[in-house]
Structure 1
Amino acid sequence: MTDASTTTKHAATRILELRAELDTHNYRYHVLDAPSIPDAEYDRLYHELKALEAEYPELVTADSPTQRVGNLALSAFGEVKHEVPMLSLGNAFAEDDLRDFDRRVREGLADELPAGDLFGGGAIVEYSCEPKLDGLAVSLLYRDGQLVRGATRGDGTTGEDISVNVRTVRNIPLRLQGSGWPGVLEVRGEVFMSRAGFDALNARALESGGKTFANPRNAAAGSLRQLDPKITASRPLEFCCYGIGQVQGELPDTHIGILAALKDWGMPISRELKLARGAEECLDYYRAIGEKRDALPYEIDGVVFKVNNLTWQRELGFRAREPRWAIAHKFPASEELTELLAVEFQVGRTGAVTPVARLKPVKVAGVMVSNATLHNMDEVERLGLMIGDTVIIRRAGDVIPQVVQVVLERRPDWSADELAARTVKVPSECPICGSAVERTQLIKRSKGRETVSEGAAYLCVGRLACGAQLKQAIIHFVSRRAMDIEGLGEKSIEQLVDEGLVQSPADLFTLRFEQIVDLEGFAELSSKNLLAAIAESKRPALARFIYALGIPDVGEETAKVLARALASLQRIQQALPEVLTYLPDVGAEVAHEIHSFFEDEHNRSVIAQLLERGLELQEEGDLHPEFAACASLAGFIDKLNIPFIAATGAEKLAAKFGSLDAIINADWLDLRQVERLNEKAAKSLREFFDNPANAERARAIEAQLREFGMHWESAKKAAEGLPLAGQTWVLTGTLEVMSRDVAKEKLEALGAKVSGSVSAKTHCVVAGPGAGSKLAKASELGVKVLDEAEFLAVLGSLG
């Protein structure tokens, strides 16, 4: 045997080994949901196989994992005649519809079922139960275990040949696993797109200026029917098997048994598949899936029930276009058509002027809907929305209904004047206070320059002179996570503002009994209780107070960072943006928002009034030891964003000159002596500090770092050592003795960071009843887990 043939033989053997290994890993990942190797190792195996096949193209076969992307686009799809028709299912919309279906099944099987009453009422039929995926039904034909054809359902009798495209769907096996499969096996199922995949696809489309999809079902169907299979391959499609068509060979005698066999052969099946005995257990399953519907990673529109016994399926047979042995119990519609009557504009707490669709009332997912969100004017333009359009409305669970698509086919043939009148326009004046409405600007800061572009939002510039902003600001100010003033609901706040009793949050602390006792919803006791709650709120923790102020982009966590690090309202108010960026998770944009808020004269006045009216902030003190002397001269120079001065150059400058003043005053000769500082960087540095405003700004930042104790020459402080400092904890499930919010506060007060996800760096997980994936992840990583009783014992031991 020649060296060449020996090499080819070794390559062929290795190719077979790699294919088998990759097929196994695909099966474990997509079907068992139990991957045994990291993605990087899978990629290494895949690229090794791809390289070998490129070197030995004669060894490439159609079932290789590398052959999932076709090279040539099709001019059209061919037709496929279904040997066994792909029939649709009858629908049940109410519980009694399902009970009637079960009754008909039992009547049809009267001769097969055990004896019962006259109508077989004492007999129970077993049904398979699985979610009804909202995707595109397809047929996959395997001969001798190899995928040879893929087809759409079409009209049930004739579909389209999409063989090239189905091969690109990652969890469809090109060759069946194991052994024992029939010589001819037609697998049927649904190609769908997960919610996460759909969101990512639309995000990429928006970034590239492309067209977005209205919903995951449309995205899946459109992706699978692309004439260019490379486009299909780029889409996040998945497959789930729900049954079979034509078969030549032996299979189990129950529907669930067949699905279990298909899973063994590499077919992904629903993880929610269950067996139910009788109609009532089916209804229990329907309700349970309905409750978890919005938590599923994919969209479903109901549940499918099938008689599990195949002999009984054949006995029941078919009627017209649907089987008598299966039914789809649909959820209330989550999408409906209606008419857009008008677009109005609401004003929020931050002054954002947001379009809201007023609709002809329509029932969606069991709820009457007459309003829907439009997010912003960019969304209105993307939809091409006109007043009077027929639109598709979507509602999922408790999510605010949204307009997802305009049905252009139903748009009347309006004249040019009518089109102009029906165009949605942003008001030039605030609909609440009449102040100007301006489009936001996005400022992107980089080395030595600012880039300004238009934002998506429009803002009323009236601030707290605007009634809507004032009401929303006070609603936020008194909320549970902010100042936590009980007895002040939205209606009460609206009354107080409308009556002129409250014109800023500070006015809450001057309210008198006689001013509120006669207001609607108030009486003597509730008025006294409210005044007592206001008085009790006068000693808020600094973090709560900062959050209550409603600073744009400052949520609870950022407020806690500001309070923990700077530890005084005065320092937070004075802090320059560049100083704020030394704090964790405070970027340049948020830092400028914080600084701008406290620079505003009205905001400063309100804060001063709050303090004058008796507010005493708690947990104020010295700068946190973690941030004492946290700045370095090199880091400081880098933060100035001087063009062509990167971190390395900043370190060289700091090492050479040792102080900011020395760097500002350095001449050309001095700069030439800085190791590896090129002429362009030296020139840029000199030009930057030759501008008096830049030099003055740098000195002001340095002075504040020194004042706060963050300067590189400041004294380091020893941390007093909170018992849980440096530890990351995770809370999951339901805590019964205390709420998770309270537990989080307790942990943070002891120095711990409370995270929403489990990782190898997690110190401990507190798991209450109902704990799910986070508890499983903790077990997998070997992270310590406490139940609530053990957690309370830990808190007790720490005082």
Structure 2
Amino acid sequence: MSHIQDLEKQLRKASDAYYNDENVMLSDKDFDNLRDELQKLDPDNAFLKEVGAFSTTALSKVKHVIPMGSLDKINTEKEFNTWLTTLSKTVTNEFDRDILIEDKLDGVSLEIVFYKGKFVQAITRGDGQIGDDVTHTIKNAKGFPRKIDTDNEYVYVRCEAVLLLDVWKKHFSDTTANPRNAVAGLVRRTSAVDSEHITCIAFDVEWSDDEVLAEYKKIEWLREQDFNVVETEVVFGRELSNLPQMFDQMLKRRDTLNWEVDGTVLKINNLSQQRKLGERDGRPKWAKAWKFPASGGHTTLIGVEWSVGTQGTITPVAKVKPVSVGGTTIQNITLHNADEIERLGIYIGDTIEVIRSGDVIPAIVRVVTPGKKRVKIEITECPSCGTSVERDGPRVICPNNNCKGSASKRIKKWISKRNIMFLGDSALNTLECTGVVNSIASLYIMTQEKMVAAGLGGRMSEKILEEIKKSQNVELSDFLGSLSIDMLGRREAANLVTAGFDSLDKWENMTVDDLLKLDGFKETKATRICEGVQYKWNEIQKLSMCLNITNPKKKEKKMSSSLESVTFCFTGKMEHPRKELEGLVESNGGRVTSVNKNLTYLVIADVNSTSSKAVKARKLGTTLISEDDFLDMIG
């Protein structure tokens, strides 16, 4: 096989993984380097003219009415200037060379189809001509309206499906390497489980509306229709020399965003000039993607540390030689599970590439160079109790129900959730090692004498016991939601209490069928919660005897309907707690919402603010008021 054929094979395999799988084989930097090499060696290679990758999933295939092309990339200021020179030969008037710049989102590109104003279908990019029908997942996603105001029979909205970073960290960071991988899996998941976490951010619209003359007008229309849209800015033709500096500013700004961005998209703003410039091989001549430099680094994997969690799952953490990535020194990187180790093909001693996924979470991308003396990463015994481990799908678990390491993690979680001050890791370790603490319930029967005998100071012991006493008053949902029961956090427990499971007797007799009658519960979740409660029932009973468990106070009826049909959004720092202010709205018949065309008031610390929320609210005609104005309104 020739080198060119080998390059093409590598690129096709990596492209297929990127577009059709939730695991990425190559970093963007390595993919682009290979593509550039192929471009130099064989500029007419068929791969270079292809868009995306043909879908290899089992989902239904749909042909795009309007092909979803891709963009050629630029990586340097020199390449940008070369493009500008090319543009100026066709677009001779500098007033027609205004450029719209927008974030290049790093997710899954989609086309959302509306028929007679109603959402009817969602299709992945695929190879630009044919994509997967993912209506079953996107119908549950956030960020776009299900109905739009239009006279067009068909409207095609282009958007990026993403996982917001805070959502990914909360729900998926333990099981996926980065938000892009996670959303790629969610979009194509046939069961549609967890698809409600997907957010769609629109960046283009196609229709038969000839009255729209500029790219920014499309964005304005999308915003008016209540789509989440990309951040955009128009740079005038006479000011294009400032674009490289603006690019640097956007590069610095991406650390503040709540979604992954891997570059900037540049588009000629004038639609008639776009048509005049045309395209080549499915890529528009009037647009470019200016990629951000990869924020990765190379280091050596020197070891793996395994730790057991609250459910007995044993998680591997890679220990690497310190490496600076994106201004942060990295030494520890989670490997999530055994499947991830196998997928990466890593061994101790290998030189590896490390990135900061979402510019936040360190992640290993690939093996750069195999080590001379490679050591296989494996585990046979629980690092805490020594019990032989078992494999459960991708997970390694300790089957010992009395594992001290797992019990210790559950105690620490309880201490954290119940906000027991002064009982940190060092003090807890001392109490555990001497047998004073071996369960959550043991916290409530230990004495100052035992604590001092274990090695803690008298005054510190006294302060810890005072905090433990405070924690004895607990609402039922906080009690159950802090016990490390699988898939049962405090919020879910509160939902179940509200749904009628408002006593321990009802929780003891709760069945899977009971939960399946409630919104948001499917077989797996209901089964795991019920099994978890039954498994821990003896512990629940024993601990409940040490506590004063109460139910939350019933919500008071509305004080009035003075705010009926009025909507509020609160932003910025307030004198009163946000929840208190929102409670006042709801108790007076109003509704709390986000900034959208139906918002009545945006309550903001500074009514003259130029924040993105304030700017958007003004454009939508929303009234901006201060906290004092709001309180005067309530009376």
Q: Does 1:376 align with 2:337?
A: yes
TM-fit CA distance, 1:783: 7.9
1:411 to 352, 370, 374: 370
Whether the aligned pair in 1 keeps the contact of 2:481 and 2:488 (CA below 8 Å) is yes
Q: Render the CA deviation track for 1:168-222: whole Å, top value 9, x for unaligned.
A: 63578xxx999992299999999996222389999x99x9xxxx99999xxxxxx
Name the structure 2 match of 1:736: 574
- Give the partner amino acid of 2:382: C
TM-fit CA distance, 1:475: 2.1
Name the structure 2 match of 1:592: 527
TM-fit CA distance, 1:458: 2.5
Whether the aligned pair in 1 keeps the contact of 2:388 and 2:398 (CA below 8 Å) is yes
- Give the partner amino acid of 1:457: R
Name the structure 1 match of 2:473: 539
Name the structure 1 match of 2:541: 608
Name the structure 2 match of 1:529: 463
Name the structure 1 match of 2:413: 476
Distance in 1 between residues matched to 2:49 and 2:255, nearest whole Å: 33
Change (3 A) 1:614 1:474: same
- Give the partner amino acid of 2:549: E
- Give the partner amino acid of 1:340: L
Q: Render the CA deviation track for 1:305-363: whole Å, top value 9, x for unaligned.
A: xxxxxxxxxxxxxxxxxxxxxxx9x99x7311111222332211222111211212222
TM-fit CA distance, 1:546: 2.0
Name the structure 1 match of 2:350: 389
Superposed counterparts of 1:174-573, under 5 Å:
181-182=91-92, 194-197=105-108, 271=233, 290=252, 292-295=254-257, 297-299=259-261, 334-395=295-356, 399-407=360-368, 410-411=369-370, 422-425=375-378, 427-440=379-392, 455-463=393-401, 465-479=402-416, 482-516=417-451, 523-566=457-500, 567-573=502-508
Distance in 1 between residues matched to 2:29 and 2:419, nearest whole Å: 43
Distance in 2 between residues matched to 1:775 and 1:545, nearest whole Å: 40
- Give the partner amino acid of 1:498: C
Change (3 A) 1:457 1:339: same
Change (3 A) 1:502 1:787: farther
Change (3 A) 1:265 1:592: closer
Q: Render the CA deviation track for 1:124-160: whole Å, top value 9, x for unaligned.
A: xxxxxxxxx989999xxxxxxxxxxxxx977999994
Whether the aligned pair in 1 keeps the contact of 2:333 and 2:363 (CA below 8 Å) is yes
Whether the aligned pair in 1 keeps the contact of 2:105 and 2:263 (CA below 8 Å) is no
Q: Which moved more, 1:177-186 or 1:356-365?
A: 177-186
Whether the aligned pair in 1 keeps the contact of 2:306 and 2:314 (CA below 8 Å) is yes
Distance in 1 between residues matched to 2:406 and 2:560, nearest whole Å: 42
Distance in 1 between residues matched to 2:177 and 2:476, nearest whole Å: 45
Whether the aligned pair in 2 keeps the contact of 1:135 and 1:192 (CA below 8 Å) is no
Match of 2:385, SS state, is coil
Q: What count of residue pairs does the alignment treat as equivalent? A: 452
Q: Which moved more, 1:152-161 or 1:339-348?
A: 152-161
Distance in 2 between residues matched to 1:722 and 1:266, nearest whole Å: 44
2:69 to 169, 173, 178: 169
TM-fit CA distance, 1:300: 5.3
Distance in 1 between residues matched to 2:599 and 2:339, nearest whole Å: 41
Change (3 A) 1:391 1:530: same
Change (3 A) 1:183 1:469: same
- Give the partner amino acid of 2:257: A
Q: Which one has a bigger Cα radius of gyration?
A: 1
- Percent of aligned positions that are identical: 24
- Give the partner amino acid of 1:615: N
Distance in 1 between residues matched to 2:531 and 2:50, nearest whole Å: 54
- Give the partner amino acid of 2:434: E
TM-fit CA distance, 1:557: 2.6
- Give the partner amino acid of 1:355: P
Distance in 1 between residues matched to 2:600 and 2:100, nearest whole Å: 43
Q: Render the CA deviation track for 1:458-484: whole Å, top value 9, x for unaligned.
A: 222234x223222221222122xx323
- Give the partner amino acid of 1:544: D
Match of 1:502, SS state, is coil
TM-fit CA distance, 1:575: 0.7
- Give the partner amino acid of 1:527: S
Name the structure 1 match of 2:82: none
Superposed counterparts of 1:95-114, under 5 Å:
none
Distance in 1 between residues matched to 2:451 and 2:587, nearest whole Å: 37
Name the structure 1 match of 2:277: none
Q: Does 1:582 align with 2:520?
A: no
Q: Render the CA deviation track for 1:14-73: whole Å, top value 9, x for unaligned.
A: xxxxxxxxxxxxxxxxxxxxxxxxxxxxxxxxxxxxxxxxxxxxxxxxxxxxxxxxxxxx
TM-fit CA distance, 1:542: 1.9
Distance in 1 between residues matched to 2:567 and 2:312, nearest whole Å: 36
Distance in 2 between residues matched to 1:389 and 1:432, nearest whole Å: 27
Task: Give the alignment's TM-score, normalised by structure 1.
Answer: 0.45
Whether the aligned pair in 2 keeps the contact of 1:178 and 1:265 (CA below 8 Å) is no
Whether the aligned pair in 2 keeps the contact of 1:373 and 1:400 (CA below 8 Å) is no
Distance in 1 between residues matched to 2:512 and 2:437, nearest whole Å: 32
Distance in 2 between residues matched to 1:749 and 1:477, nearest whole Å: 33
Whose RCO is larger (CA < 8 A, sep 6+)? 2
Task: Give the alignment's TM-score, normalised by structure 2.
Answer: 0.55
Distance in 1 between residues matched to 2:523 and 2:333, nearest whole Å: 34
Distance in 2 between residues matched to 1:554 and 1:759, nearest whole Å: 33
Name the structure 2 match of 1:144: none
RMSD: 6.1
Distance in 1 between residues matched to 2:487 and 2:245, nearest whole Å: 45
Distance in 2 between residues matched to 1:607 and 1:751, nearest whole Å: 39
Distance in 1 between residues matched to 2:385 and 2:355, nearest whole Å: 32
Whether the aligned pair in 1 keeps the contact of 2:179 and 2:358 (CA below 8 Å) is no
Superposed counterparts of 1:598-637, under 5 Å:
598-600=533-535, 603-619=536-552
Match of 1:616, SS state, is strand
Distance in 1 between residues matched to 2:32 and 2:203, nearest whole Å: 10
Change (3 A) 1:364 1:352: same
- Give the partner amino acid of 1:458: V
Match of 1:545, SS state, is helix
Whether the aligned pair in 1 keeps the contact of 2:414 and 2:482 (CA below 8 Å) is yes
